[in-house]
Amino acid sequence: MPVQTVNGVQVWQRRDRVGAFKHWLGWLVGTLIFLGCWHIISEATTWAFVWDAPQQGGQLLSRMIPPRWSYLNQLWQPLWDTLNIATLGTILSVAIALPLSFLAARNTTPHPIARAIALVVIVTSRSVNSLIWALLLVAIIGPGVLAGVLSIALRSIGFLGKLFSEAIEEIDQLPVEAITATGASEFSILTYGIVPQVLPTFAGVSVFRWDVNIRESTVLGLVGAGGIGISLSASVNGLQWSQVSVIFIAIFAMVFLSEWVSATVRKSII
Amino acid sequence: MLRLESVTKRYPTGDMALRDIDLTVPQGQVMALIGPSGAGKSTLIRCINRLVEPTAGEIWLGDQEITRLSARSLRHMRRRIGMIFQEYALVERLTVMENVLSGQLGYVNFWQSWFRRFPQPIVDEAFRLLHRVGLPDFPDKRADALSGGQRQRVGIARALLQNPELLLVDEPTASLDPKTARQIMRLITELAHERGLAVIINIHDVPLAQQFAQRIVGLRAGEIVYDGPPDGLISEVLTDIYGEEDWSTAAEDDNAAATLPTAIEAR
Assess whether pLDDT exceeds 50 at residue B258.
no
**Mean pLDDT throughout A141-162?**
91
- The pLDDT of residue B264 is 42
| pLDDT digits 0-9 by tens, A97-109 | 999 999 999 989 9
Please state the domain count of chain B: 1
Assess whether pLDDT exceeds 70 at residue A228.
yes
- The pLDDT of residue B256 is 44
Q: How far is the alpha carbon of A111 from chain B, nearest alpha carbon, in Å?
A: 17
A200 Cβ under 8 Å from any chain B Cβ: yes
**Residue B85 and residue A240: Cα distance in Å, rounded?**
70
Closest-CA residue of A relative to B94 is A196
- The pLDDT of residue B236 is 81
Average pLDDT, chain B: 86
More confident residue, B112 or A24: A24
Closest-CA residue of B relative to A193 is B91
Average pLDDT, chain A: 89
CA distances to A36, A37, A39 from A43, rounded to whole Å, are: 11, 10, 6
**Residue B60 and residue B67: Cα distance in Å, rounded?**
8
A233 Cβ under 8 Å from any chain B Cβ: no
Q: Has residue A136 been placed in a domain?
A: yes
Same domain, A121 and A218: yes
Same domain, A193 and A74: yes
Query: Which chain B residues are Cβ-neighbours of A193 within 8 angstroms?
Result: 91, 102
Point out the least confidently predicted range of A158-172, A212-226, B205-219: A212-226
- The pLDDT of residue A270 is 66
Point out the least confidently predicted range of A10-14, A29-33, A164-168, B89-93: A10-14
- The pLDDT of residue B240 is 83
| pLDDT digits 0-9 by tens, A120-129 | 999 999 888 8
Could you write out the DSSP letters of every residue in chain B? -EEEEEEEEE-TTS-EEEEEEEEEE-TT-EEEEE--TTSSHHHHHHHHTTSS--SEEEEEETTEESTT--HHHHHHHHHTEEEE-TT----TTSBHHHHHHGGGTTTS-HHHHHTT---HHHHHHHHHHHHHTT--S-TTSBGGGS-HHHHHHHHHHHHHHT--SEEEEESTTTTS-HHHHHHHHHHHHHHHHHHT-EEEEE-S-HHHHHHH-SEEEEEETTEEEEEE-GGG--HHHHHHHH-HHHHHHHHHSHHHHHT-HHHHHH-
Please state the domain count of chain A: 2
CATH code for the domain in which residue B242 is found: 3.40.50.300
Q: Which domain holds residue B1?
A: 1-80+200-267
Q: Has residue B34 been placed in a domain?
A: yes
Assess whether pLDDT exceeds 60 at residue B246.
no
Assess whether pLDDT exceeds 70 at residue B235.
yes
A187 Cβ under 8 Å from any chain B Cβ: yes
Assess whether pLDDT exceeds 50 at residue B267.
no
Same domain, A28 and A101: no
Q: How far is the alpha carbon of A108 from chain B, nearest alpha carbon, in Å?
A: 16
More confident residue, B263 or B232: B232
Model confidence band, residue B90 (pLDDT cutoffs 50, 70, 90) = very high
Assess whether pLDDT exceeds 70 at residue B252.
no
pTM, full prediction: 0.77
**Mean pLDDT throughout B171-194?**
90
Q: Has residue A57 been placed in a domain?
A: no
Same domain, A37 and A74: no
Q: Has residue B223 been placed in a domain?
A: yes
- Under 8 Å between Cβ of B261 and B207: yes
Query: Which chain A residues are Cβ-neighbours of B91 within 8 angstroms?
Result: 175, 179, 192-193, 196-197
Say whether A182 and B102 touch across the interface (CB within 8 A). Answer: yes
Same domain, A247 and A142: yes
Q: Which domain holds residue A91?
A: 70-268
Same domain, A180 and A83: yes
Chosen from B52, B94, B105, B171 to mutate, greatest number of chain A CBs within 10 A:
B105
Same domain, A181 and A245: yes
Q: Has residue A52 been placed in a domain?
A: no
Distance of CA A193 to the CA centre of its chain: 30
Query: Which chain A residues are Cβ-neighbours of B158 within 8 angstroms?
Result: 178, 182
A179 Cβ under 8 Å from any chain B Cβ: yes
Model confidence band, residue A169 (pLDDT cutoffs 50, 70, 90) = very high
